[in-house]
Amino acid sequence: MNNFIDYIKGSLEELSTNMTWVSREEAQKSTVVVAAFTIIFALAVAAIDKVFQTGLDNFFKMF
C-alpha cells in the first residue's frame, strides 16, 4: 500500500513540476479543430451509410 501512495505522490509532483502545458488559447483552438473534424467525419460516415443502405434496399427490391 505504501508503494501505491508513493506512486501517487510522485505522479502528482511530476504533473506539477515536469510537465509543460499548452496555453488556454491553444487548447481552445485545438478543441475547436477536433470538434469540427469530428462533425465532418460523422457527416461523411452518415452519407456513406445512407448510400449503402439505399443501394442495398434497391438491390433486395429486385428479388
- What does the domain layout of the chain look like in residue ranges? 22-63
Grid cell for residue 61: 427490391
Gyration radius of the chain's alpha carbons: 24
Residue 27, pLDDT score: 96
Residue 20, pLDDT score: 85
Residue-wise pLDDT tens digits, 4-63:
999 999 999 998 888 888 999 999 999 999 999 999 999 999 999 999 999 999 999 988
Residue 43, pLDDT score: 98
Q: Is 1 a residue whose pLDDT tops 80?
A: no
State if pTM tops 0.85.
no
